[in-house]
Structures are given as C-alpha cells and as structure tokens.
Chain A
Amino acid sequence: MIARLVLNGRTREVEVRANQTLLELLRDTLGIFDVKEGCDEGVCGVCTVLLDGRPASSCLVLAAGLRGSAVTTLRGLERNGGLHPLQDAFVRHGAVQCGFCTPGMLLTALAFLERQPRPDRAAIRAALEGNLCRCTGYTKIVDAVEAYVRESHA
C-alpha cells in the first residue's frame, strides 16, 4: 500500500506494509531518526510528531492510513540550517541531558505555544505532561520554555 504524506514540507508517496507504523516508516524506511522508539503504546512521547500541526504518537499511527497529512519532525523546525530559538533555549538552559525525550518535548512545546503563546509555568508543565523525561526532573525544561516565551515576546 501507499502512504501519502507531506513530510517536513515535502510531498512523499512511499510503499508501506499494512502493519507498518508511521514511526517505522520514518526510521526504517526513510532513515529519519528525529523520532525515537520508547514504549510502543503512546505513553512516553519520544515518538511524537506533529500531525497536521497537532502532537501525535507516531507509534500508534498506521502509515497506510496517511492520506496527505502534514507530518512534522524536528528537522522541520530548523530555520536556514540553524537552530530554532526554542532549541537554542534548551541548550542554554541545561534542558537536555540524555536527549532522548528532547525531540518530542520540543515539538509538543511548540505546538502548545501556537495555541497558548503566553503560558505560566503551571500551564507549561500541564502541556508537557504527556512527554516523559527520566533525567532532568523537568525543572530546566520548563525554564527553557519559559525563557523562550519571554524572549520571543521581548
């Protein structure tokens, strides 16, 4: 079967197996390692993509069901080959330790900020509740998002 998607702005049509998930399509077929495999049940968030602008667990999406949806992974954020300011904020604020949760956190945070551009810390925490992190304890991740919000409205 054929999966049709607009991947980071580029239209793609790819031959897929019936039981192939979007996560497997991205990693195994297209060699895109922006998305990770963590739990295969939609709980941990490391496989997060933006599907038509909304966070989705790519481990739970069947690739064959994609009929032209826009799929955004981390590299879809880069601006002119440089880091997106939120990525830069993560680096500067120590919000990255092992980094496994980082791509999912970034995408989820950005999608959230599109809808709520000036959240407080509690709202940021609630927005990131579905993205598990085992290393940072979350404080510096919230610091980074808060700093980005402050700096982008300065």
Chain B
Amino acid sequence: MSDAVATREALRVVGQPVARHDARDKVSAATAYAADWALPGMLHAAVLRSPYPSARIVRLETKRAAAMAGVAIVLTAKDVPRNTLATDVPGQTTAVGPLRATLHVLAEDRVRHQGEPIALVAAETLELAQAAVEAIEIEYEVTQGVFTPEAALAPGAPAVHGPGNQLARWRVARGDVARALKDAAVVVEGEYTTQLVDAAYLEPESGVAWIDSDGVITIRLSTQVIEHFRDVAEVLQVPQNRVRVIGTYLGGGFGGKEDVTVEAYLGLLALKTGRPVKMVWTRQESLLSRAKRHPYRLRYRTGANANGEIVAQQIELLADAGAYAYLSALVLLYSTVTAAGPYRVANVEVDARVAYTNNPPTSAMRGFGAMQTVFAYESQMDRVARTLGMDPLALRRVNALRRGDTLPVGQVIETHVALPELCEKAWAALGPPAPPRAPHLKVGRGLACNFQPYGRIVWLHDWASAWVGFEMDGSLVVRCGCPDVGGGQASSLCQIAAEVLGVPLTRISVHVSDSALTPLAGTTTASRQLYMSGNAVLKTARELRAPLLRVAVTLLGGDADELDMDEGNVMTPDGRTLAIAELLRECARVGVPRSHLGVYHAPAGEPVDLARGSGKVFPDYTFGAHAAEVEVDTETGVVRVLGYTAAHDVGRAINPQSVEGQIQGGAVQGLGYGLMEEVVVEDGINLTTSFATYLIPTAADVPDVRAVVVESGEGLGPFNARGIGEPPIGPPAAAIANAIEDATGARLTRLPITAERVARGLGLLA
C-alpha cells in the first residue's frame, strides 16, 4: 500500500496520547467487571481446598453437604466428565511437546499442594455454599512432601508425580566457557536467590456461567485467554462450539489469569445444575491457591577482559515449579534464552532445570522467566564493573548487543538495539544527585538493563485475526478476540483502525474478547497483543480500504493510490471529498463488501535444539535501561527510593500515554519485587494469605517513575511498535541492588531486599 499511513510525519491518530474509551467508563464505574453480573436464579459457588501440601485423600463424603438446605450440588473428581487434561501453551493451536502440561480439574486420590481444589459446591447464597464446603466430610493421610527444588532433585526424594521430580531441562552451549574463564582477567562468581511472588491483581478471579437459550455454555469471566473455551469443552466432553467464553475488562491480569482459573468449575456447575452460577475467589483463596512466579536459584560465573569485554558466562538456573507444571517448561525456556543478558558474549553455557515440589504451583507472571534472570545478570555486570574499576554505563556500552549479533541460542538480532542510548538517557534523567540528609543516610545510584522477548516463540506459529467493518452511516466497528487487561489493548486497536480508515475515534466502537463473536486473536500475554492483534487490525483495515478506494475512484476519478481517508471522508489530492456514507451506498450497489475479516500470521519457525545454538526462538526483543537513586539508612537498613527512571525502546508508541503508564506500572511492580513482596511458604504452608501479610507497594513507598520513551522506528508490531507490557518489570530489583552497593558497598543477592537483609549485609546484626 502506498503509505501515506506509514511515514511518521503523516500519522494523525497513532502516536497521539488519546484518552482511552474504557477510561471514561472506568472513572464512572460503568464498566461491568466479571463480578458485577447477576442473573435470575443464580447460584453461588465455593471450593473445598486441601489444607495439606502432600496427602492422600482417604475418605471423601459429600452426602451431608449436598443435603443441606439451599445447596444445589456438590461435585468431586468423579463427577467431572474429563478430569485430567493435557494442555498446551494457552491459546495456541500448535503443540510443542515439551511444553505440554497435565492438569487435574479436581483432586482425585492425592493432593500435592496446599490449596489444591478437591470439591465444588453451588448453593443459593455464598454463605450457604461456604457452610456446605465446611460440611464435606474428608479425611487425609498426610504424606511426606518435598519443599525445595534441591531436595526434590536429590536421590530418594518423595515423588511429586513420577520419580525424579525434574520437570524440564534446557541447555545452551556456545564456544568454550571453561577455557575463556581460565583466560579471563577477572572472574566474578555470584549466587542469587529470587522469591515466590503473587500477581496480586486487585480484582480476584471471578466469573459467572450460564446455559444460553441455544444451549451454549456461556462463561463470562476475568481472563487473559478466551481460547480456554476449548479446555472447558474437553473437561465437559462437549463439542468446542458449544462453549463460549466472554472475557470482561480485567481488573488486572499480569499472567495470573493466563491459565484456567474459574472457568472449568463454572462450566461444570452450570451444566450440571442448569442454572447460572457465580464464583468469586476470596483474596485469601487467591493468595493461597493461584499459581505464582517461579522462585529461582541463579549461579553465575562471569569472565571479563581487562577492557571490560565479557568473554564468558557460565550459568546454572534452578527453578521451583511447585506441584503442577502449568507453564513452567516455557518459563524456563525464556530464562535460558535471556540468561546471559542483552550482551554479546562469545562463550556461554546455561544449564537450566525446573523441579516439582509440594509448594504452591508456579506459572505465568509478567516477565515470564526473563525477569528473574535480570537480577542475576545485572548484578553480575555491576560487580564486574566494580572489580575492573570501570564505569557501569561504560561496561554496558562495551558489551551491548548490536544488530547482526547472535544470541547464545543462535538467534541473530535483526532489529536496532538502542541499549547504549537507553542507558545514557535513563541515567541522565535521574537529574542532579540528592544531597544526603544526615550522616547515617547514604545515597547511591544504580543502573540495570534488560531485554524481554515480545511475541510468542516462533515455533508456535502464532496468529491473530480481526474483523473491521463500516456501518452504513460511516461509523466503524472493530471486533477482535483480544482480552483487555487494563493496558489499553482495546483502545490501541481503535487508534490503528482510525489511522488507516480516517474515521474519528468517537465514531469507532470495539468489541473484544468473546470466543463466539469476535475473531480469535490469542492470549493477552507474552507482550504479544499489540504485535499480534495490532498487526491483525492493521492488516484487516488495509485490506478493507483497498477495494473501497477502487470504488471511490469510480466516483471521484484519479488514482486509488493518491486518495486519502480522513475525518470520515475520502479525499482527492486537489481537495474534492466524498463522504464515507455515500461511498458505502455505492459499494453496496456494486457488491463490494464494507467489512473484512483478516488474519495476521507471525513469521514462524521450527523448534530448535537450544543446546546446538541453531536458531530463532523469539520474534524480537524489547530493550530497556532503568536507573535508581536510593537512600540507605545505615543504622536500620531501611531503603528509600528517591528517584527512578525507566527507558525503553518501544519502536513506535501507538499511544504515548499508555506506553508511559505501562512503563511506570511495570517499574513499580518490579520495585515491589525488589523490596517487599514475598509469598512465605514453610514446609508447603503459605503464611502470606492476606493483603496484610503479602505486601505490595503503596503510593508512599515509591517515587515518581520518569518514563523515557525511545522510538527507534524498528519493531515487528503495527507501525513498527514493540511490545511493552512485560519489559519494564525486569530491571528494578537489580537497579536497586546496584544502587545499594553504590551507596554502602554491601551487595544484596537475595530478594526481596528487606531492611533486615540490608542490615545484615551492613554487618549491623553481628
């Protein structure tokens, strides 16, 4: 297409910080979230969950509970048509062997983690449902559990599933690490430990299901993946076209709503009772039983030359999958590919393993394995800089990847890497250093870089579809299966359609996230949605536009390539206009469609042998650099973040305000990860099942985050955009650790960096 649309100067809507349509609804609480829904005759559901991390179910009797007044039904595993599922990567239609996982809807004879679901109750009120749950008679025989990956992989460890407890292993080997380390001028060794954390979205898992008038089991819930209708259909043993998932605007997702959460239960209960059923998890339930972020042990040996060139990375990763696999193998893959950081390193060895334990299961969470490694590789970089007496920015500049470099897995970097520019800008944006307020308060600064894949691994042959169509009056409808997690996913699609078709935003309505009524676009995860559904809408809008303009030529004369669409009109170069509504009437007369369904296929690849370093894994990466200024109270260990900047190359900012918001929000989540968040589990028992004990940052805990948006103009998304959902969460923990070392000389290697850990690091508790 002759692209008046493609050149930067001509963009009218894309690139503007337009107010989002959903923001207006949300400020007046007009948005109906999943729990803001009630139907006549609706039942309320509750779940019986295991209090033990490892046990056999010796006796399970539900008759008494089922007979209670107001209780409609009690279900256990035997009532589930297909209780055990093999699941692929959510939302994908291509399977990749090692990434398949097994899921039980309800526990059968064993429970493997505290909080594992065993039975479902539906009753007239939530109170009655909870009382019935407590009336279920159940006896357990507690069995020996295993609670660290190290112990799980040791010989003779209790088997969580099959013997051995190793769920997955990925290895990368490039060059000759042993020799390079031997010859290196300096070798820095470090062991880093990251913790179990929760997505902690403010909206708990919620949904309502009912059987529609045409017999379709309809589930309206808060989810990042509407394609789970297929999993629900398999659980219920009904054809896939008899299950419909309507995804609501989420009150936060962050990966925690990527797996099946309430939908299988709701589908079951609605099918078996014939009535609408609502399920809303309590915060305690969510914190207890929802899958979390993998904790890691990361061991690094980094070798460098005297001039700062990183010559070798020898890396060992060990992650905790908890009791069920979910997405652990894929998370580990992300860690493996990113373990050496966004740097050019000739000799790399990565040995990454993830093990089953009887801890809470771990799965997707923003950053997805590529986040935990940042803490390790950026801590190592700063330590190398310190050892060499080199400026940390200079060290990054020396080693930063460039277009044409090859990652350890064999993937060639094909787009611009703005890392040096990002480092300079992030650092400069901190401004003049804060003067120390008192002798015991030490101020320091730290830098951390990262790269995060965006888009699915290419072996999954990702695709997304969209429908764009005009109404007869020239207003526009966009339909796309893309769930909106609050990052402006839906409104970006409107901006893209507005740009191509010249329709004012106020005349565009968008329908998202309905598996029966909107073309499927895949998951809102993996920083893929702008790339995929954005490209789908872009492609679809262009494919719709071309034939329309050919009809316009018959009315206006001239060349289709020279016509413009703007303000609801078609325009010739000499200023003559044709209202869209008039054009559409002519299109109807001559049989040219005013709507179009399009599909975008991401460039695909075949699975590579990582160990042989042979190829492309991810479509592309988003690079970032953050800088932090901290004040450490050297008497108590308390760390205050005085200033924080976050720079990312987003290719092109479709909506700059949304992009800043993603960067700021991700950075603060990362600060929470770095400073205070921890799911504390002792022998499989979760001790942080309330918001009073699981702490996330408040407005008073973090400073303003200065987002620095760099637009290199190179990205695979629409208008050369890159994904930005996940990248900002990676650097903060390392930036803080580096800043603390700058301030005090103490190196913290265990997350979260609590005041007590800093105090110990400063030798205050000798």
Contact = CB atoms under 8 A, between A and B. Distances in A.
A55 to B, nearest CB: 14
Contacts of A125: 699-700
Nearest to B127: A19
Contacts of A33: 29, 32-33, 36
A100 B33 contact: yes
B35 A94 contact: no
Interface stretch (B198-206, B434-442, B500-508): B198-206
Interface in A88-130: 88, 90-94, 96-103, 106, 121, 124-126, 128-130
B27 A98 contact: no
B660 interface: yes
Give the residue among B26, B283, B691 with the most A Cβ atoms within 10 A: B26
Given A74-B29, A134-B202, A98 B250 contact: yes
A79 B31 CA distance: 19
Contacts of A92: 19
Nearest to B26: A99
A7 to B, nearest CB: 15
Interface stretch (B112-120, B404-412, B661-669): B661-669
A78 interface: yes
B19 A98 contact: no
B288 to A, nearest CB: 13
A137 B664 contact: yes
Contact of B660 (A99, A130, A133, A140): A140
A8 B38 CA distance: 23
Interface string A19-44: 10000000100010110111111011
Contacts of A102: 26-27, 29
Contacts of B108: none
A34 B30 CA distance: 8
A59 B261 CA distance: 24
B689 to A, nearest CB: 11
Given A106-B27, A132-B202, A98 B251 contact: yes
- Interface of chain A: mostly helix, strand, loop or mixed: loop
Interface stretch (B66-74, B265-273, B480-488, B534-542): B480-488
A98 B252 contact: yes
Nearest to B200: A134
Interface in B244-287: 249-252, 254, 280, 282-284
A61 B668 CA distance: 31
B561 interface: no
A41 B689 CA distance: 11
Interface in B689-709: 690-692, 696, 698-700, 702, 704-705
Contacts of B203: 36, 38, 98, 100
A152 interface: no
A91 B486 contact: no
A100 B690 contact: no
A97 B488 contact: yes
B603 interface: no
A132 B698 contact: yes
Nearest to A103: B29
B640 to A, nearest CB: 12
Contacts of A46: 202
B27 A83 contact: yes
Given A36-B33, A40-B282, A94-B657, A138 B696 contact: no
A88 to B, nearest CB: 8
A38 B204 contact: yes
Nearest to B484: A98
A129 B698 contact: yes
Nearest to A122: B700
A134 B669 contact: yes
Contacts of B668: 136-138
Interface string B208-250: 0000000000000000000000000000000000000000011
Contacts of B26: 96, 98-99, 102
Contacts of A136: 661, 664-665, 668
Contacts of B487: 97, 135
Contacts of A67: none
Nearest to B664: A137
Contacts of A87: 27-28
A96 B20 contact: yes
B22 interface: yes
A11 interface: no
Interface string B304-323: 00000000000000000000
Given A31-B38, A102-B29, 4 more contacts: A36-B35, A40-B284, A100-B201, A139-B704
17 contacts: A36-B251, A39-B283, A44-B202, A75-B29, A83-B28, A87-B27, A94-B661, A96-B20, A99-B251, A126-B699, A128-B698, A131-B699, A133-B699, A135-B252, A137-B664, A138-B702, A142-B699
Interface of B: 17, 19-20, 22-29, 31-33, 35-36, 38, 127, 200-204, 249-252, 254, 280, 282-284, 485-488, 657-658, 660-661, 664-669, 690-692, 696, 698-700, 702, 704-705
Interface of A: 19, 27, 31, 33-34, 36-41, 43-44, 46, 73-75, 78, 83, 87-88, 90-94, 96-103, 106, 121, 124-126, 128-142
